[in-house]
């Protein structure tokens, strides 16, 4: 694949968050960018406004003429697209240059110094934090992110001066094996995507393989306590990090008055009085990893302090929509039991004396089948749980796998409701929870504007 000779790029699955960063990248290079997605969204609307030609009907007649020349067009597809997709078959039968998103990302970044953040959870926040720390400093970076940065309103940052590229390294479908990191972070390795990997051992092996790809002269920053054992090449340094232990860690943590401050301790120097712009406890861990990457690449102590204080978060990652003394409403992309547990603990730390309600849409039949008991344990940390039907994404239903599996195993004493997705606004209007968190990677976020209106209504 020679990106420099391309004139157009066609995306199948154009509305995905990871795909959209690539679309913006090719638009910035003046190429024709077009594609298909199943459903319109706010993200596809933005992409169309920025110049992408996106349609929502599986129809080869809608492919622009500029994307029908195999000598000048590259096709990028997401693994969620079935092999029988009509448009994908059109390009396959005509011998187009066809690649997965991760392959393209690997090619773009191979001539750069990639800072790759991997992990079951925490990778979007950590990579976005890292990108912000570098972007607002004298160092700079390009970044391909897995969420929309609240600081920049996009998931793509571009730099003409810096050869550093921040990448969210996705383990789904072993995508991160296409990358060649200069530096890598592994935040967590709680098993996930067992529909792809089959076993926990295979999942952990995939992360071990990822660590073998780090370039000599680079480094690995590994969260303490992970089951996965790294296998880095010669000449690669390995560091550990955690909240209060490891080569990089926090000391003198102060939580109160809506703020979190700590001193950042590293093998190089201690940077005192780091203030978290998004003050939730999990961001101490995420922040340490991001600070480590930034410090190792030359960001100064003053820039580290300014960057962390000005960080505004990622859409749908502990994203407050309402935050008043009387009421709070936030959205969180957490869709794995370990993520939900951490979300619950962080919210509880902020709202010790309030009733906390979780509205959860399980994501994927296979994930629900594999982890329903773990989901129930994590959700039981909330005072009240509202469950909707499973969001299928790329999957067909599995007999006997429904949200009822989670519902039936919630701890005694937890208020619980099974609710059709369409009935969510009416239920929230009736309950008017004090603290509401919308959890999951599905499509419940379409109700966020309506829920904001409901919860802002006078009692």
The Cα 381–Cα 205 span in angstroms is: 31
What tokens appear for 41 in the block?
């969204």
Instruction: Tell me the helices (H) and strands (E) count for the chain, helix number first.
Output: 14, 21
**How confident is the model over 40-91, as pLDDT tens digits?**
988 999 999 999 999 999 999 999 999 999 999 999 998 778 889 999 999 9
The Cα 403–Cα 426 span in angstroms is: 20
pLDDT for position 360? 97
pLDDT for position 117? 97
Under the banding of pLDDT at 50, 70 and 90, the label for residue 1 is: low
Alpha carbon 179 to its chain's center: 17
Residue 459 reports pLDDT greater than 60:
no
CATH 3.40.1190.10 segments of the chain: 110-310
Q: Which residues pair with 251 in a beta bridge?
A: 263
Under the banding of pLDDT at 50, 70 and 90, the label for residue 458 is: low
Name the strands in the sheet holding 164-169, side by side, starting at the edge strand that comes first in the sequence.
156-157, 142-144, 164-169, 113-118, 181-186, 219-223, 237-241
CATH 3.40.50.720 fits domain 3-100: yes
| H helix runs in 29-122, sequence order | 42-49, 86-93, 101-109
CB-CB neighbours of 452 under 10 Å: 13
Q: In the block, which residue shows the tokens 């309950």? A: 431
CATH 3.90.190.20 segments of the chain: 319-456
Phi-psi region of 184 (alpha: psi -120 to 50; beta: other; left: phi over 0): beta
CATH 3.40.50.720 segments of the chain: 3-100
Q: Which candidate, 78, 103, 73, 63, places its Cα nearest to that of 14? A: 78
**How confident is the model over 178-210, as pLDDT tens digits?**
999 999 999 999 877 777 788 999 999 999 999
If residue 165 lies in a helix (H) or strand (E), which one and from where to where?
A: strand 164-169
**How confident is the model over 267-290, as pLDDT tens digits?**
999 999 999 999 888 899 999 999
The Cα 26–Cα 232 span in angstroms is: 33
State the chain's mean pLDDT as an integer.
Answer: 93
Output 403 or 175, whichever has higher pLDDT.
403
Q: In the block, which residue shows the tokens 């990579």? A: 127
Residues 262 and 284: beta-carbon distance below 8 Å: yes
Q: In the block, which residue shows the tokens 């603290």? A: 435
Alpha carbon 364 to its chain's center: 16
**How confident is the model over 7-23, as pLDDT tens digits?**
999 999 999 888 999 99
**How confident is the model over 149-167, as pLDDT tens digits?**
999 999 999 998 999 999 9
Separation in Å, CA 413 to CA 329, 416, 433, 459: 23, 9, 17, 26
Q: 110-310: CATH homologous superfamily?
A: Mur-like, catalytic domain (3.40.1190.10)
Residues 419 and 427: beta-carbon distance below 8 Å: yes
Residues 129 and 141: beta-carbon distance below 8 Å: no
pLDDT for position 121? 86
Q: 319-456: CATH homologous superfamily?
A: Mur ligase, C-terminal domain (3.90.190.20)
CB-CB neighbours of 216 under 10 Å: 10
The Cα 394–Cα 75 span in angstroms is: 20
């Amino acid at each position: 694949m020679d990106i420099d000779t391309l004139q157009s790029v066609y995306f199948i699955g154009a509305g995905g968050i990871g795909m959209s960063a690539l679309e913006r990248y090719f638009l910035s290079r003046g190429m024709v960018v077009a594609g298909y997605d199943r459903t319109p969204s706010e993200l596809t609307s933005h992409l169309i406004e920025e110049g992408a030609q996106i349609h929502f009907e599986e129809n080869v007649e809608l492919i622009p003429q500029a994307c029908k020349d195999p000598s000048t067009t590259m096709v990028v597809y997401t693994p969620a697209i079935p092999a029988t997709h009509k448009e994908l078959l059109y390009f396959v039968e005509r011998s187009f240059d066809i690649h997965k998103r991760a392959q393209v990302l690997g090619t773009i970044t191979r001539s750069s110094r990639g800072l790759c953040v991997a992990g079951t959870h925490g990778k979007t926040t950590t990579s976005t934090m890292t990108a912000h720390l570098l972007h607002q400093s004298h160092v700079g970076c390009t970044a391909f992110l897995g969420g929309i940065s609240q600081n920049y309103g996009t998931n793509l940052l571009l730099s003409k001066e810096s050869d550093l590229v921040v990448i969210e390294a996705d383990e789904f479908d072993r995508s991160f094996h296409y990358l060649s990191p200069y530096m890598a972070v592994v935040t967590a390795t709680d098993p996930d995507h067992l529909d792809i990997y089959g076993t926990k051992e295979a999942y952990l092996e995939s992360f071990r393989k990822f660590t073998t790809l780090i370039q000599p002269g680079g480094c690995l920053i590994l969260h303490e306590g992970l089951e996965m054992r790294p296998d880095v090449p010669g000449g690669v340094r390995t560091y550990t990090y955690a909240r209060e232990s490891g080569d990089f860690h926090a000391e003198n943590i102060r939580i109160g008055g809506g703020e979190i401050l700590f001193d950042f301790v590293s093998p190089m120097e201690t940077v005192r009085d780091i203030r978290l712009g998004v003050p939730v406890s999990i961001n101490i861990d995420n922040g340490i990893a991001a600070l480590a990457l930034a410090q190792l690449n030359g960001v100064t102590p003053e820039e580290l302090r300014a960057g962390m204080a000005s960080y505004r978060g990622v859409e749908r990652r502990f994203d407050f929509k309402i935050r008043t003394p009387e009421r709070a409403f936030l959205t969180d992309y957490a869709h794995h039991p370990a993520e939900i547990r951490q979300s619950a603990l962080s919210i509880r730390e902020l709202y010790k004396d309030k009733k906390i309600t979780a509205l959860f849409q399980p994501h994927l039949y296979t994930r629900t089948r594999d982890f329903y008991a773990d989901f129930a344990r994590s959700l039981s940390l909330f005072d009240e749980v509202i469950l909707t039907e499973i969001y299928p994404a790329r999957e067909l239903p599995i007999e006997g796998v429904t949200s009822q599996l989670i519902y039936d195993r919630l701890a005694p004493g937890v208020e619980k409701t099974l609710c059709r997705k369409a009935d969510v606004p009416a239920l929230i209007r009736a309950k008017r929870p004090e603290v509401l968190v919308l959890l999951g990677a599905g499509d419940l976020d379409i109700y966020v504007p309506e829920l904001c209106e409901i919860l802002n209504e006078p009692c």
